[in-house]
């Protein structure tokens, strides 16, 4: 057997990995043993993984996945509760949204930002299409997310505002990109690195809704910035994996100063009386959209492992 080489997974097709060895890209099939101890994980290998391969094998195999610096997971789908690891080993995530066309989705942003906080991946909100913002919505959105501890950049690919700042954020780093179709991700990347020649418009949406739906990410170099980007297409709803209701509270950090004043020390801010978080939402001190996202995620989350349900009074003898 030849010497094992180390490489980085650029993408996965069915069960074949494209592994970048630095001087060349090879196709390699994951060893069967990697699928044996999955314990609720759908995919043993993901984009961005550092792997060891035997380049002389026939076929070439991925023998080992090296320990990850970080990763981002979600629930695979509404029919499949397993953990799907979307990518690994990134320096940051840029969450793209547009002020208009399409309208900014707080729910979409809040889900991915909560996941990034949970997985300790630094995230920045890129608020694009500010050239269309006649009502000054961008300022309000920026204020909401800054209060939540998220960096925000207002941009317009149309006028060029903020584009250099996005490029500087990406310089020398591996950056995951996330955002709804149509918000301007491809346009932004083409402006930053025209050689990428990404398709702009509604083509991707057409494919995303057809039979060719892909939830696979892919890793691309941007040599001019000494950077890499991870593209994450085709995610309609991002469901947090394995975050319980108690952990969820910490993923909305702007609630914390108010939560200290809730009547119940373990207040979930969902139904309790004298809830200072709910009061702050009603008085406009906390964002009603963020709170709505929290309630939805709370509904989807499991209780903490030590949770003991209240005895139902009418079940008592």
Cα gap 250→187, rounded to integer Å: 34
Q: Which is nearer to ligand GDP, 177 or 248 (CB)?
A: 177
Told to check if 267 binds Zn ion by CB under 5 A, we report: yes
Cα gap 263→254, rounded to integer Å: 18
- What's the closest the beta carbon of residue 103 comes to Mg ion, in angstroms? 18
Closest residue to bound ligand GDP by CB: 184
Told to check if 186 binds Mg ion by CB under 5 A, we report: yes
Whole-Å CA distances, 143 to 9, 150, 181: 37, 10, 24
- What's the closest the beta carbon of residue 131 comes to Mg ion, in angstroms? 19
Beta strands 80-88 and 71-77 are antiparallel
- What's the closest the beta carbon of residue 280 comes to Zn ion, in angstroms? 9
Which residues contact ligand GDP by CB under 6 A?
128-129, 131-132, 156-158, 179, 181-187, 200-201, 204
Q: Which is nearer to ligand GDP, 21 or 196 (CB)?
A: 196
Specify the 3-state DSSP secondary structure of 202: coil
Question: From its phi and psi, is residue 39 left (phi > 0), alpha (psi between -120 and 50) or beta?
Answer: left
Specify the 3-state DSSP secondary structure of 192: helix
Q: At what angle do helices 137-147 and 106-118 cross, to 10 degrees?
A: 20
Adjacent-strand bridge partners of 153: 126
List the single partner that 275 binds among Zn ion, Mg ion, ligand GDP, none, CB under 5 to 8 Å by kind: Zn ion
Q: Which is nearer to ligand GDP, 21 or 132 (CB)?
A: 132
Give the one residue of 130, 169, 192, 262 binding Zn ion; rule: CB under 5 A: 262
Q: Which is nearer to ligand GDP, 144 or 187 (CB)?
A: 187
Of 206-214, 220-228, 245-253, 263-271, the window that binds Zn ion (rule: CB under 5 A) is 263-271
List the single partner that 262 binds among Mg ion, ligand GDP, Zn ion, none, CB under 5 to 8 Å by kind: Zn ion
- 284: tokens are 């406009």
Q: Which is nearer to Zn ion, 180 or 277 (CB)?
A: 277
Q: Is 4 exposed, middle or buried (0-12, 13-18, 19+ CB in 10 A)?
A: middle
- What's the closest the beta carbon of residue 100 comes to ligand GDP, in angstroms? 8
Of 21-29, 67-75, 220-228, 266-274, the window that binds Zn ion (rule: CB under 5 A) is 266-274
- What's the closest the beta carbon of residue 15 comes to Mg ion, in angstroms? 26
- What's the closest the beta carbon of residue 100 comes to Mg ion, in angstroms? 17
**Cα 265 to the center of its chain, rounded Å:** 31
Nearest one of 61, 49, 48, 56 to 15, comparing CA atoms: 61
Q: Which is nearer to Zn ion, 47 or 262 (CB)?
A: 262
Rg of the chain in Å (alpha carbons): 22
Cα gap 218→228, rounded to integer Å: 10
Residues lying near Mg ion in the complex (CB under 5 A) are found at: 185-186, 204
> Which positions touch Zn ion (CB under 5 A)?
262, 267, 269, 275, 277
């Amino acid at each position: 057997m030849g010497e094992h080489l180390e490489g980085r997974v650029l993408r996965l097709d069915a069960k074949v990995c494209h592994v970048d060895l630095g001087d060349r890209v090879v196709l390699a099939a994951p060893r069967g043993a990697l699928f044996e101890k999955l314990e609720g994980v759908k995919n043993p290998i993901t984009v961005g993984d550092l792997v060891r391969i035997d380049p002389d094998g026939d076929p070439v195999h991925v023998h080992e996945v090296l320990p990850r610096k970080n990763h981002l997971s979600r629930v695979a789908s509404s029919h499949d509760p397993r953990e799907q690891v979307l990518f690994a080993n990134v320096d940051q995530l840029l969450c793209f949204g547009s002020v208009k066309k399409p309208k900014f989705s707080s729910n979409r942003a809040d889900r991915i930002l909560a996941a990034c906080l949970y997985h300790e991946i630094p995230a920045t909100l890129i608020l694009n299409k500010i050239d269309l913002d006649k009502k000054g919505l961008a300022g309000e959105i920026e204020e909401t997310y800054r209060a939540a501890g998220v960096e925000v950049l207002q941009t317009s690919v149309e006028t060029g505002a903020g584009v250099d700042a996005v490029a500087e954020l990406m310089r020398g780093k591996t950056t995951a990109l996330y955002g709804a179709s149509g918000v301007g991700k491809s346009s932004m990347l083409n402006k930053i690195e025209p050689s990428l020649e990404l398709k702009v418009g509604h083509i991707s949406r057409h494919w995303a809704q057809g039979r060719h739906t892909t939830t696979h990410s892919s890793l691309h170099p941007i040599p001019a910035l000494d950077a890499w980007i991870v593209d994450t297409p085709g995610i309609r709803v991002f469901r947090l994996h394995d975050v319980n209701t108690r952990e969820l509270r910490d993923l909305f950090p702007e609630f914390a100063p108010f939560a200290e004043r809730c009547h119940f020390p373990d207040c979930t801010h969902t139904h309790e009386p004298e809830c200072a978080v709910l009061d702050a939402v009603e008085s406009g001190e906390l964002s009603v959209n963020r709170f709505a996202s929290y309630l939805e995620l709370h509904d989807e989350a499991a209780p903490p492992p030590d949770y003991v349900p209240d005895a139902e009074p009418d079940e008592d003898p």
